[in-house]
Structure 1
C-alpha cells in the first residue's frame, strides 16, 4: 500500500481535466484518479465543437461513447461577397452531456465536485477546508491565466439555445455568418463579428454572437439584443432554453518560457489552456485536449517530476508548431481596421477544402502556409508587414466572472 489517496490527482474538471480522467479510465484502469472541480458540475456551462478531421483514430475512439450532436453533411460559411458549403463532418458537445458521460464511465469516487483547491504541490492538493488529497502525480488544469507574458486579442461571445415554436429550417451548421453588421461587442475597441449557428433539432438551435476583439469587454445586454435581431431576421424566434458567455484568448505572441515559469510548481504537471495547449488563432481546445489526454495516459507511470517535464516539453513543441497561426493573428488584429477584418476570413474560405481542414487541426503544411499568404492580399502588404513587426497588447485575463474556462 502506498498510503496515498490516489495515483494521479487532476485539479480542474473542465474539458482538459475531464478528458485526462477519461483517457486514464479507458487505457489505464489500474491507475487510481481523483478529479477535483470547484464547481457544481464537471465541464461548467459550455459547448465545445470540432471537425471530424481534427481527430485521429485514437482521438475519435476516446470521444466515441460521449453523447454529442453530429452533422454528416458538412457546414456553411457566409460573407458579404462569398458563401460556401464545405463537406467536413462537424461535432458539438454540451457540457451537461460531457459531465454525464464522465459520471457514467469513471470509477465511483473519482469525481469530487464543489471542492475549492487552495494549493497544489508535488505530493497532492490542499482543499479550502484543509482536506489533503495525496497523490503520486498532480496535474493542474485550472484554466487560462495569461498575465503579462502572452500577447494578443480576445474572442468574445454569447451563445443562446433557442427552442422555436415552428421548425427553424436550418439543416446544418453555419460556422461563420459574417454578413452581419461589423460592430464591437461593447462600447470600446474594435472587432470582427460573425454569428455561429448550430441546429440541434427541428425546434432547437444554438445561436452565438462572436467577436475577434481588441479588448475583453463583454456587454451582455448588447449581445443579447443582437441575437434577438438575428433570430428574428432568420426565422428563429423562440424561447431561450440556456445560454453561455465567454472571453477566450487569441494568442499572437509573447514569452512562452516566462508563461510556463509563471505557472510552474515543482513536480506538478500543467495541462489545458493553463499549460498553453490551445489553437492560438481559433481558440479551439478539444482536439488538442484529446491529444494531451492520450499522451498522459501513455505516460501514466512516470513520477510527478518526470510527467511535469514531459508536459512542459509537449507545450514548448506545440508553441513552436503553432507560430504560423500567431503570425496570422497579428495580421488580423494589427493589419486591418476592425470593419475590414472579415475580408481576411472571406478570402481564406475560398481556399481548397483540405487546406482549411488542416488549418483548423493545427497541421498546416508549408505549401498550405504559402497558399494562405500569397496572391491578392485582403489587407495592404505594408500593413501586414507592420503588423508582424508590432507587439500586440498583453493578454491580461478579464474578470473571472466574465471569462469562459478554456481548459
Structure 2
C-alpha cells in the first residue's frame, strides 16, 4: 500500500456511498422492526459510534441513522484507553471496536524509565467503521452535511428533511469563550519497517527527546512485528501544527531508535483541547435549547490528557439508560452529566494551569516526570478521571516542579475567564 492507495476503510466507504446515497432503505427499516423515526446522530465520530454500539446491544429494536458531512466517516484516528478507564460491564459492547490490545505500557524520561502493568487498547477509524457497519439497526449516510438541527428533524445542506425520534449533535469540538485552552497537538505516522522491531508494548510517553514547542514526547504503538504508529506530540500554547517539521522529527526519532522506515502507510494529525479554565454554565447556555450534545461538542474529554473515550463510553451508557427519550429530555440529562463531570475535573484544570502557566515551556517535562514516579493505581485513576482527594494531595505533596509563587497564582481559574466564575 502506498500513500495514495485507498485504505479498506475508504474503499468500503465509497461502496457504502454508492449503495446508500439516498439514505436508509425500506428493507433496512423493515429489518429494524419499527415504524418510529430513527435516532439521528449528526456526525460520524467516536461518540456517535459508541452511542450506536451501546444502544444496539441494549435496545436492539432502535433504528439509528448516523449522518456524516464528508465521505470519510470516523476520519483518520486512533483512540486509545487504559483498561481501568472503562468499567468491566462496558467491555462487552466496546470490544468489537478494539483493533489492538496490550498487557502493559512504558514511559521514558531522561531521569528514569518505568514499565506499568496496566492494560492498554486502541480503536482505529477502520475498526470503528467496520463495527458500526456490522450493526443491523444502524444506517450510515455519508456526504450528508446538516444545515439545521431541530428536536424532531434534521435538514441537510441539499434541503432534504429527515424526521427523527431524537437528534444528538456529535459534530466535534465547538470553540467557546467559556473555555480557556492550551493545546495537545500531534502528527502520527503508521510505518512499515524494513526489519522487525523490539517494541513489546506501547511507549505512551517517551520524553527523552529534545523539548520543543512546550512539553514534547513521542508515543509509539507496536501494531505488528514490523509495523509501528509513531506520534510526535507537543503540549503547546498555540494550536499551529507544522506537519513538515513534526514529520522530520519522527523520522529522526525512528533513526535514533534503529528503526528503518520502509514505507509510510498512514498519517494522522490532530490538535486536542487541554482545559485550563471552564465556565460550564456559560458553555451550556450557548447550546441550542433542546438539542443533546455529545463528545467533544459537549466538552466531555479528560482536561489533562485529552483522552475522550472514557467519557464517551460513560455518555453512551447514559443515553442507553434513559432511552427512549425525546431530544429535550436527553439534553437535560446530558447537561446534568456534563456539569457533574466539570465539577469532578476541577483538579485537572488546576494541574493544567500549573503546567502551562507556571512551568517554563522547556521545563514542563519535569511535571510529568514527577507524576510518573507515583503508584500505579493512582496513575490509573488519574487517566480514568477518578482522581480522589487523597490522590490529589499525593500529587501535590513535596517540592513542586514549578516555581512556588507562579504555582500559587494558578490556584483560581476565574481570572482567566474574566467573569468572576468559580
d(CA) in 2 for partners of 1:166, 1:391: 53
Given candidates 54, 71, 80, the residue that maps to 2:102 is 71
Pair 1:272-2:288 in alignment? no
Query: Which structure has more RCO (C-alpha within 8 Å, separation ≥ 6)?
Result: 1
Deviation at 1:91, TM superposition (A): 0.3
Aligned to 2:78: 47
CA contact (8 A) 2:108 2:114 kept: yes
d(CA) in 1 for partners of 2:288, 2:128: 29
Deviation at 1:257, TM superposition (A): 1.4
Aligned to 1:258: 282
Given candidates 221, 233, 236, the residue that maps to 2:256 is 233
SS in 2 for 1:143: coil
d(CA) in 2 for partners of 1:381, 1:148: 29
CA contact (8 A) 2:277 2:413 kept: no
Deviation at 1:329, TM superposition (A): 0.4
Structure 2 residue runs of 5 or longer lacking an equivalent are 1-28, 418-422
Aligned to 2:135: 105
CA contact (8 A) 1:209 1:227 kept: yes
d(CA) in 2 for partners of 1:334, 1:67: 36
CA contact (8 A) 2:274 2:303 kept: yes
Decide which structure has greater helix share: 2
Given candidates 376, 380, 397, the residue that maps to 2:399 is 376
Pair 1:181-2:205 in alignment? no
CA contact (8 A) 2:219 2:232 kept: yes
Aligned to 2:191: 162
The 3 A distance-change label for structure 1 pair 230 and 145 is: same
d(CA) in 2 for partners of 1:314, 1:300: 15
CA contact (8 A) 1:153 1:393 kept: no
Number of residue pairs matched by the alignment: 384
Structure 1 residue runs of 5 or longer lacking an equivalent are 185-190, 395-407
Aligned to 1:350: 373
Given candidates 131, 143, 150, the residue that maps to 1:121 is 150
Deviation at 1:230, TM superposition (A): 0.3
SS in 2 for 1:64: helix
Aligned to 1:397: none
d(CA) in 2 for partners of 1:391, 1:343: 26
CA contact (8 A) 2:215 2:364 kept: yes
Aligned to 2:23: none
- After superposition, residues 1-400 of structure 1 pair within 5 angstroms as 6-72=37-103, 74-107=104-137, 110-184=139-213, 191-238=214-261, 239-262=263-286, 264-389=287-412
Deviation at 1:388, TM superposition (A): 2.6
The 3 A distance-change label for structure 1 pair 106 and 134 is: same
CA contact (8 A) 1:76 1:86 kept: yes
d(CA) in 2 for partners of 1:340, 1:277: 28
Aligned to 1:402: none
Deviation at 1:32, TM superposition (A): 1.6
CA contact (8 A) 2:78 2:122 kept: yes
SS in 2 for 1:251: strand
CA contact (8 A) 2:106 2:116 kept: yes
d(CA) in 2 for partners of 1:67, 1:153: 29
The 3 A distance-change label for structure 1 pair 133 and 392 is: farther
Aligned to 1:405: none
Deviation at 1:21, TM superposition (A): 1.1
In the superposition, the TM-score normalised over structure 2's length comes to: 0.88
The 3 A distance-change label for structure 1 pair 134 and 107 is: same
CA contact (8 A) 1:152 1:393 kept: no
d(CA) in 2 for partners of 1:53, 1:235: 33
CA contact (8 A) 2:43 2:68 kept: yes
d(CA) in 1 for partners of 2:108, 2:153: 49
SS in 1 for 2:216: strand
CA contact (8 A) 2:191 2:266 kept: yes
Deviation at 1:66, TM superposition (A): 2.4
SS in 2 for 1:377: coil
d(CA) in 2 for partners of 1:390, 1:100: 42
Deviation at 1:266, TM superposition (A): 2.3
SS in 2 for 1:200: strand
SS in 1 for 2:265: strand
d(CA) in 1 for partners of 2:296, 2:415: 19
Q: What do residues 114-156 of structure 1 show as CA deviations (whole Å, max 9, x unaligned)? A: 2111110111111011111111211001000122110020001
* Larger displacement relative to structure 2 (352-361 or 166-175): 166-175
d(CA) in 1 for partners of 2:300, 2:384: 13
In the superposition, the TM-score normalised over structure 1's length comes to: 0.91
